[in-house]
């Protein structure tokens, strides 16, 4: 059983390592992640939301519905914990 797990882990390591050959180098300013959408956010966020912190602007302004869903997730987790851990009389 442990041998099977080790084989699965080594196979996944080999596949992920092969995939890193196509990844952009560390800190590359012209990587795809920092050239398509993020310049727009960096340049427009302060003008549109009047928030200097871009992370806050994206989290609470552009993606406010996403954050609402996030609070639903953590509320559900809290309710589930309470239901599991309450004392049954």
Partner 1 sequence: MEAMDYIISKYNYWMYIILMMIGFYAMIAKKNLVKKIVGMNIFQTAIILFFISTASKKGGASIPIIQNGHGSATDIINTAHYVNPLPHVLMLTAIVVMVSTFGVAIALLLMLYKKYNTLEEDEIISILKTENGK
Residue entry with tokens 């196509």: 22
Site for partner 1 contains 68 (CB under 8 A): no
Is-contact 31 24, C-beta < 8 A?
Answer: yes
With CA atoms as reference, report the closest residue to 29 among 20, 42, 47.
42
Site for partner 1 contains 88 (CB under 8 A): no
Is-contact 38 59, C-beta < 8 A?
Answer: no
Half-sphere exposure of 28 (CA within 13 A, CB side): 9
Segment 19 to 58, residues that bind partner 1, using CB under 8 A: 20-21, 23, 25-29, 31, 33-34, 37-39, 41-43, 45-46, 51-55, 58
Site for partner 1 contains 6 (CB under 8 A): yes
Site for partner 1 contains 63 (CB under 8 A): yes
Residue entry with tokens 């003008």: 47
Residues that bind partner 1 (CB under 8 A): 1-2, 5-6, 8-9, 12-13, 16-17, 20-21, 23, 25-29, 31, 33-34, 37-39, 41-43, 45-46, 51-55, 58-59, 63, 66-67, 70, 73-74, 76-78, 80-81, 84-85
């Amino acid at each position: 059983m442990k041998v099977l797990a080790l084989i699965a882990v080594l196979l996944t390591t080999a596949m992920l390592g092969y995939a890193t050959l196509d990844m952009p180098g560390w800190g590359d300013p012209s990587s795809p992640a920092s050239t398509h959408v993020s310049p727009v956010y960096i340049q427009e966020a302060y003008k549109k939301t009047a928030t200097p912190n871009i992370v806050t602007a994206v989290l609470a302004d552009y993606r406010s519905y996403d954050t609402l869903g996030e609070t639903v997730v953590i509320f559900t987790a809290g309710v589930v914990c309470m239901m599991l851990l309450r004392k049954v009389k």
